[in-house]
Structures are given as C-alpha cells and as structure tokens.
Amino acid sequence: MTVLHLADDGEAADLAAFLSRLLHYDRSAAVRLQAAGTALAVFGRPPSFEVLAVRAVRLAKPYEDGLDVTLDVTVSAGEFLEAVDETAATAAVPAPVTGPPWAGVLPPRGGWRPEPGLPAPDALRTTVAAAVAEFRSRTGELEPERRTRAELDRIGRDIWTRTVGETRLPVRAVHAAQSLGFLRPGTAAEDTGLFASGAWLRLRTPYGSIAVRRGGLGALDVSVGRTPG
C-alpha cells in the first residue's frame, strides 16, 4: 500500500478536516488524488454547492512509488480519511474506486489570469451570511402546501447563482469556500484571489480553491480540474 508522508501533523489535521467536511455533505464521496514532487492535490465535489473543491497538501518528501513518480487515482473519501494518521503525519492511499463522472474532467493546469473585482474576505463572508438569511426567510414564509422540493430549489437557484460584486463568481462558490474551511476569519485580502482560464473561474485562498466553469447561456456550472497552476 502506498503511504504518503505529509509535511507535518498540521497538514495531516487540515487534510482530515477537509475530508470530514466533504463527507458531511456526501457520505459516499470520492476524491481524486494527484501527487507529484512534494505536492498533493485532493479534488472533491460537495453536491450541495455544485462546485469543485481543491485542497493542496504539502508532502515531506517527493512522491515516489517504485518507478512511478506521479500519483493520479480516485479513492473513497471515507477510506482515505480513515487512513490519515495525524500523529505520524502520514496517509495511506486506499484501493482505487470507479470514479464519478466529474473526476474525469479537470480544469487546466495553467493559463490562469487574475480577475478583478473580488471583494475582501470579510465582505465575502458577509455576502454568504446575507444569502443564508435570505434563503431561511423566504423558505420560512412559504405556506405548507408550497413547501415543495421544487420551490425550495427554485429559491436556492435564485440566491446562489447570483454573482459576487462585479465578478462572474456565483455566491454558491463563496459559500462552499467558507463551509469547507477555505475562507477562514482573519484571511488577508492579499492572500485571496479570483482567476480565470478559458471557461473556468477559480477562487483561491491559502487553505484551498473552489473552481467553477461557465456553461451554456453564461451560467456557471460545477466542474473539476487538474491541479490549478
């Protein structure tokens, strides 16, 4: 079994926390792992947000498994979490699983250019809080006979597909960043950024990235991608 040696116990704890958050939204979640050199990228798709989450993990030494110097495999998020040893700062790679469709379509590695207009982290969190409050208020006002899944989804789409500030980034991407632990209190504005590459947008923070792709008619739809460059 391949064992990854993480940079320190802090990296191991952050990896475990990220996997736990993914599993909170999908108990059968899968993650795609890509490792090369001293970097490991963990890709996941929390269904509640319809975005791609990317967590970068530092390795203590360059990845190498026999003649293979790169790792690219899709595994069970739950099994991978169980294989993380925070004290030893290691993570054993579980047996591969048949990946979900999203795991086969990844954003580009490079070609990312800065996009202007991203509000400061505190303002982003305020936007998420206002959106959550609006959703609760509007759904709470529904008459019992109108409280259907279709109506809740309609209200959700109306709120979460709105864009942030002057950017093309949907509010749901910021909500995902906060819920997955990427947009933490105290995050500095200079440590966050919005980038574009082709049809893709990426919200980057020191703790991870959220990627979305523009689909037909200008809508922003979830997607996955190769390790963002």
Q: Rounded to two decimals, what is the model's pTM?
A: 0.88
pLDDT at 65: 84
d(CA 166, CA 84): 40
48, amino acid identity = S
Which tokens in the block code for residue 165? 């500030």
CB hemisphere CA count around 168 (13 angstroms):
18
pLDDT in tens, 4-19: 999 999 999 999 999 9
Q: Residues 6 or more apart from 101 whose CB is under 8 A from it?
A: none
Q: Where are the domains of the chain?
A: 3-104, 113-222
d(CA 190, CA 130): 24
d(CA 119, CA 166): 9
Q: What is the DSSP letter of 198?
A: T
pLDDT in tens, 204-225: 999 999 999 876 223 344 333 3
pLDDT at 216: 29
pLDDT at 227: 33
pLDDT at 214: 74
CATH ID of 3-104, from 1.10.20, 3.30.160, 3.10.150, 1.10.10: 3.10.150
Q: Is the pLDDT of residue 187 over 50?
A: yes
Strand segments, DSSP code E, in 130-205 are: 193-197, 200-205
d(CA 49, CA 179): 10
pLDDT in tens, 70-122: 999 999 999 999 999 999 999 999 999 998 988 988 888 889 999 999 999 99
pLDDT at 215: 61
Q: Is the pLDDT of residue 126 over 90?
A: yes
Count Cβ atoms below 10 Å from residue 45 Cβ, excluding itself.
24
Mean pLDDT calculated for residue range 157-179: 95
